[in-house]
Amino acid sequence: MNNRWTTRRTPGAMSSQTTTATPRRLEIGRIGESVRREDAVPKTEGRFSYASDLWAAGMLWGHTVRSPHAHARIVEIDISQALAMPGVHAALTHADVPGQKRYGLEFPDQPVLAIDRVRYFGEAVALVAAEHPEQARRAAERIQVEYEPLELVVDPERATEQEPLHPDRPTMGHGYRDDPRPNVVRHLVIRHGDPDTPGDVAVEGVYEVGIQDQAFLGPESGLAVPDGEGGVDIYVATQWLHVDRHQVAPCLGLEPEQVRLHLAGVGGAFGGREDLSMQIHGAMLALHTARPVKLVYGREESFVGHVHRHPARIWAEHRATRDGRLVSVRMRILLDGGAYASSSTAVTSNAASFACGPYDVPNALIESTCVYTNNPPCGAMRGFGAVQTCFAAEAQMDKLAAALAIDPVELRLLNALAPGDTLPTGQVVRGSLPVAEVVKRAAELPIPEPEELPRDPIRLPGGAGNTTHGQGVKRGVGFAVGFKNICYSEGFDDFCAARVVLRASSAEIHCAAAEVGQGVNGVILQVARTELGLDDVTLAPAGTALVDSSGSSSASRLTYMASGAVQLACRAALDERDRTGAAEVDVERVYHHPRTWPLDPETGQTTGERSHVALAVAAMRVVAEVDVELGLTRVVWIGTAQDIGKAINPQAVHGQIEGGTAQGLGLALMEEIQTRDGLITNASFTDYLIPTTLDMPPVTAVLVEDPEPDAPYGVKGVGEPPTVVSTAAVVSALRDATGRPLTRVPVRPDDIVDLTA
């Protein structure tokens, strides 16, 4: 049995390069142990093959021609000059798409290649394939596209009054509230109790969240290899192989079996690989040229090659009694979905579902609207709607604490949700939700003493820039709590398949789960070893050919779902062997989580027992220093307690919490895709900043293991809660240091210094 890293560089029989890797045996690991990653050794050696490392004999390089306009009519496309260039084997347009011309994760509203108009900056218009990547780039420049610019829809507030970007309203008629305004992707209203109930105290605020990019380090890449019989194998970095195939095959005019997706090494995902990137394009070029074709995006192209976190504008009003009990929450959320729907309808409802935070709120009116614009398309990113509303809701809780002169932690404890309470969607919390416990555990973590001046400038705001000796530096302590759903919601028929080939003293597992760095392969092996009582268990490479879908590496769902599927299949294999006495048994099982129901389109109330499978909560305490004269910040320390159900691999859980925290800190302090008239102006790591070693403070994390009753081993997902809470917690600390409202993230130096005053 090949281990996955030995097969990556040699897809099929096409490759002539091989690695010298010898499969290494793992140290033995059952669930609950901090097992070392199977892929860590080849990754540290540079031998692990990512999608961008793939190679095949006779391979061509593809390149994508992209729109320089955010909204324009296409008058004409001329490929003749490009085709005549040396080394160029293909130049393709929408006319060459063999099957359906449009695709989409949930709604097929996005053209494979732009047909008569482009709706965002960077939209794919044409493709080329050539012998050398530089030839392909130059040929792409020679494809002549005549555009006629159209009126821009770039202000989400005005979008509902402008000409529709999608007159056929692709997201309507799917059980959502029918909103006839132009450019509405989804409009959801959650009405709970009597939202007009007065309180003794009310606080109000308007909050804004910029566009965040997943900024995974491994750019979009893949290799498409024609099989010589009309079909194609696609080796790609993705989050969900089977849903890719579901979108790719119809556009190629092929049967699903003729399109085989194989997981290539994935250099991070964070939601940005849920939607297709090069899959159809690479396959079109490969089938057209009858040669393997590889596409690798550069960093600039990657910024337009995937969807982003929705930017948001949020108005909120919280009412409470004098002794600090929440009476009513009202919130209006406006999300900019960009040019195509992607997963925006689900983000719209997630933002609304978690808008009140993990608090017992008796009355609420939440209105969440997502619109189409000509801005960069938005979709899934770690936290999925809950990040935006957590930032607003937790700012409101701090504001309420100040208005009531109650300690912010005390206020949160007073209102903490608990099992038996009702969510604003009418769902009664039946599973685990230890809100008070995580709040207490995070609040009792000791914070570091203030450090004396003078000190090394590396430990001051501005850091290595040596901007201050500390004269204008103030310290603040912040706190926040966030929660979100684990697994897909609202009645989605979600499942995960696993197959076990069991022999006398060894087993082989098949599961299509996408290992994107989060560690799901380790989870699968730990579960299989535990269930089978065997050490010699291997995991086959993930693909669509040999096992059914696993569902996506999304929604913090795979630890739950893959554990369930592998546990089920292992137990079935053992039963089968007991029953038949066969030397080898081969069984596949499909695991379903407890059923969920849609939200009522008019009231936003759950139409069954529940709309979310499970919930997970995290609390975070942050110490920050701010140079209030220069507007520079330094986060000094982060302490967090997170509800994780059960840790399958504690070291990996800590890794997820630390990494998820860093992404939330990035949104709080520096990360924003900037646009002008829909055009991205900072598509590089020079201009779009992500946290470095100098930005991340030490993180102390407490794991709270309160088992989820319906889940295998009591697990919950762990990837998203730290990202949901950390943006809010970091800004809370900055507010404490500066006394300024800081209602927008990322917080800019101008906001801290308040140059508008």
40 binds another protein (CB under 8 A): yes
- The least distance separating another protein from the CB of residue 657, rounded to whole angstroms, comes to 8
749 binds another protein (CB under 8 A): no
| Contact present, 126 and 58 (Cβ < 8 Å) | no
Measured distance CA(186)–CA(490) in Å, rounded:
14
DSSP assignment, residue 160? Answer: G
121 binds another protein (CB under 8 A): no
Letters for 696-725 (x = contact with another protein by CB under 8 A, - = none) are x-xx--------------------------
Question: Alpha carbon of 414 to those of 95, 397, 421, 563: distances in Å?
Answer: 62, 12, 14, 35
| Contact present, 280 and 122 (Cβ < 8 Å) | no
380 binds another protein (CB under 8 A): no
Query: Which of 39, 233, 625, 751 is the binder for another protein (CB under 8 A)?
Result: 39
Among 233, 299, 307, 297, smallest CA distance to 269 is for 307
Measured distance CA(279)–CA(237) in Å, rounded:
10
Q: DSSP H helical segments within 176-240, as ranges?
A: none
> Between residues 287 and 516, which has the closer beta carbon with respect to another protein?
516
> Between residues 505 and 686, which has the closer beta carbon with respect to another protein?
686
Strands (E), 554-631: 585-592, 614-627
Question: Alpha carbon of 147 to those of 68, 140, 178: distances in Å?
Answer: 9, 16, 34
Q: Could you please report the per-residue DSSP string of 107-149?
A: S--EESS-SSEE-STT-EEEEEEESSHHHHHHHHHT-EEEEEE
> Between residues 132 and 158, which has the closer beta carbon with respect to another protein?
132
Query: Which of 23, 28, 32, 36 is the binder for another protein (CB under 8 A)?
Result: 36
- The least distance separating another protein from the CB of residue 404, rounded to whole angstroms, comes to 34
Find tokens 């140059």 and name the residue: 755
| Contact present, 617 and 358 (Cβ < 8 Å) | yes
Residues 516 to 575 in contact with another protein, rule: CB under 8 A:
516-519
Look up residue 476 and give its two tokens. 């603040």
Measured distance CA(726)–CA(666) in Å, rounded:
9
> Between residues 199 and 666, which has the closer beta carbon with respect to another protein?
666
Letters for 212-251 (x = contact with another protein by CB under 8 A, - = none) are --xxxxxx--------------------------------
Residues 127 to 156 in contact with another protein, rule: CB under 8 A:
132, 134
Identity at 741, one-letter amino acid code: P
Residues 633 to 692 in contact with another protein, rule: CB under 8 A:
651-652, 654-655, 658-663, 684-686, 690-692
Measured distance CA(231)–CA(210) in Å, rounded:
42
Stretch that binds another protein, among 34-42, 103-111, 347-355, 733-741 (CB under 8 A): 34-42
Stretch that binds another protein, among 46-54, 397-405, 529-537, 576-584 (CB under 8 A): 46-54
> Between residues 652 and 715, which has the closer beta carbon with respect to another protein?
652
> Between residues 357 and 482, which has the closer beta carbon with respect to another protein?
482
Measured distance CA(352)–CA(365) in Å, rounded:
10
Measured distance CA(153)–CA(166) in Å, rounded:
12
Instruction: Point out which residues pair with 537 in neighbouring strands.
Output: 507
- The least distance separating another protein from the CB of residue 727, rounded to whole angstroms, comes to 14
The answer to whether the bond into 454 is cis (omega within 30° of 0) is: yes
> Between residues 573 and 670, which has the closer beta carbon with respect to another protein?
670
510 binds another protein (CB under 8 A): no
Question: Alpha carbon of 634 to those of 263, 696, 755: distances in Å?
Answer: 39, 9, 20
Strands (E), 568-631: 585-592, 614-627
Residues 293 to 312 in contact with another protein, rule: CB under 8 A:
296, 298-299
Count of chain residues binding another protein (CB under 8 A): 64
Backbone dihedral angles phi then psi of residue 318, each to the nearest 5 degrees? -115, 130
Query: Which of 3, 10, 49, 171 is the binder for another protein (CB under 8 A)?
Result: 49
> Between residues 246 and 299, which has the closer beta carbon with respect to another protein?
299
- The least distance separating another protein from the CB of residue 651, rounded to whole angstroms, comes to 4
- The least distance separating another protein from the CB of residue 519, rounded to whole angstroms, comes to 7
- The least distance separating another protein from the CB of residue 216, rounded to whole angstroms, comes to 6
Query: Which of 92, 266, 525, 729 is the binder for another protein (CB under 8 A)?
Result: 266
Torsion of CA 523, 528, 531, 532, to 10 degrees: -160
505 binds another protein (CB under 8 A): no
Span between the terminal Cα atoms of the chain, in Å: 67
466 binds another protein (CB under 8 A): no
Query: Which of 148, 196, 451, 456 is the binder for another protein (CB under 8 A)?
Result: 456
| Contact present, 700 and 440 (Cβ < 8 Å) | no
- The least distance separating another protein from the CB of residue 516, rounded to whole angstroms, comes to 6
- The least distance separating another protein from the CB of residue 213, rounded to whole angstroms, comes to 10
> Between residues 299 and 332, which has the closer beta carbon with respect to another protein?
299
Q: How many other CB atoms are found less than 10 A from the CB of residue 694? A: 12
458 binds another protein (CB under 8 A): yes
| Contact present, 103 and 110 (Cβ < 8 Å) | yes
476 binds another protein (CB under 8 A): no
Q: Which is it for strands 326-338 and 363-372: parallel, antiparallel or unpaired? A: parallel
| Contact present, 653 and 703 (Cβ < 8 Å) | yes
- The least distance separating another protein from the CB of residue 142, rounded to whole angstroms, comes to 18
| Contact present, 76 and 309 (Cβ < 8 Å) | no
Residues 590 to 629 in contact with another protein, rule: CB under 8 A:
none
- The least distance separating another protein from the CB of residue 39, rounded to whole angstroms, comes to 7
| Contact present, 249 and 256 (Cβ < 8 Å) | yes
Query: Which of 268, 419, 601, 707 is the binder for another protein (CB under 8 A)?
Result: 268
User: Given the rule CB under 8 A, which residues bind another protein?
Assistant: 9, 17, 22, 34, 36-37, 39-41, 43-50, 52-53, 132, 134, 214-219, 266-270, 296, 298-299, 456, 458-459, 464, 516-519, 651-652, 654-655, 658-663, 684-686, 690-694, 696, 698-699
